[in-house]
Amino acid sequence: MLSEQLSQCGFTITSGLACGIDGVAHHAALSAKGRSVAVLGNGLFSLYPRRHHILAEQLIASEGAIVSEFSLSTSPRPGNFPRRNRIISGLSQGVLVVEAAIRSGSLVTARCALEQGREVFALPGPLGNPGCEGPHWLIKQGATLVTCKEDILENLQYGLHWLQDDLQKRHISSDQEAVALPFPKLLANVGDEVTPVDVVAERAGQPVPVTVAQLLELELAGWIAAVPGGYVRLRRACHVRRTDVFV
């Protein structure tokens, strides 16, 4: 199993805790005594699926994590799962699609990975198998065909070397963070309460499409979080003063 082999190489396996491939990937990481992260499509108070309650506890006990962008009491809804896939890809250096129908949430994850500049890998399977149509389509679109762990290691080697080197060299002070803050005027107009996009745009005095693009960059940089109804400012941005705010 690729997940087990990659865990043995020191990779953290990120998946969605769902039944099927997700659960297999998490179990494989645990078997290799590795770490695994599960990203939920619901709040942390209502673990889904219930059959994976023990698996979730094992992930945490093995220095993994259970992650959710939703409020604690949010119940699992169909629309939440495609949305959480961007977090799965965003937390990862690369995305491996093992089994997926041509209309599958896994392909949503692959698309998010491409938008985020991540590597996309696909495992081929028998012709005519509906579960292999997704990986085959991705390969035709340029995804890296994977038959063994080396296919993944070779493609991620440069990025992982850069990441390790970067973590050793970078010591960013709070003053440096403030200098590097993107769109400070826009961030100043996002409140600790839920702030709708149109309100942020009005306060900042700029078009909504421009505001949406800049909010996405702020979210990816960890300054704000997308929530139902708009955005909220995260704790690391609390020192940013609100200026030019119109109520």
- Amino acid sitting at position 183: F
| Mean pLDDT calculated for residue range 167-186 | 57
Q: Which tokens is 229 given? A: 């109804």
pLDDT confidence of residue 159:
55
pLDDT tens figures, 101-144: 988 889 999 999 998 989 999 999 999 999 999 999 999 999 99
Q: What is the pLDDT of residue 234?
A: 80
Check residues 179 and 124 and name the one with the higher pLDDT.
124
Element spanning 86, H or E? helix 80-90
- Note every long-range contact of 106-110, with CB atoms under 8 Å and residues 24 or more positions apart, other chains counting: 106/21, 106/134, 107/134, 107/137, 107/138, 108/82, 109/85, 110/138, 110/143
Residue type, 188: A
**Is the backbone peptide bond immediately before 82 cis, with ω within 30 degrees of 0?**
no
Domain ranges of the chain: 2-168, 174-237
Per-residue pLDDT band for 17 (boundaries 50, 70, 90) equals very high
The mean pLDDT value of the chain amounts to: 85
pLDDT per position as a tens digit, 227-240: 888 888 885 544 44
Q: Rounding to the nearest 10 degrees, give the CA dihedral for residues 49, 50, 51, 57.
A: 100
- CATH fold of 174-237 reads Arc Repressor Mutant, subunit A (1.10.10)
Mean pLDDT of 82-105: 92
**Are 217 and 156 within 8 A, CB to CB?**
no
- Non-local CB neighbours of 224 within 8 Å, separated by 6+ positions: 187, 190, 215, 218, 231, 232, 233, 234, 237
Diameter of the chain by CA atoms?
A: 60
Round to the nearest angstrom and report the end-to-end CA distance of the chain. 56
Q: CA-CA distance, 61 to 55, in Å (whole number)?
A: 10
In this prediction the pTM is 0.65
What class has domain 2-168?
A: alpha beta
Residue 87 has a pLDDT of 95
- What's the confidence (pLDDT) of residue 200? 92
Collapsing DSSP to helix, strand or coil, 62 comes out as coil
Average pLDDT of span 212-225: 85
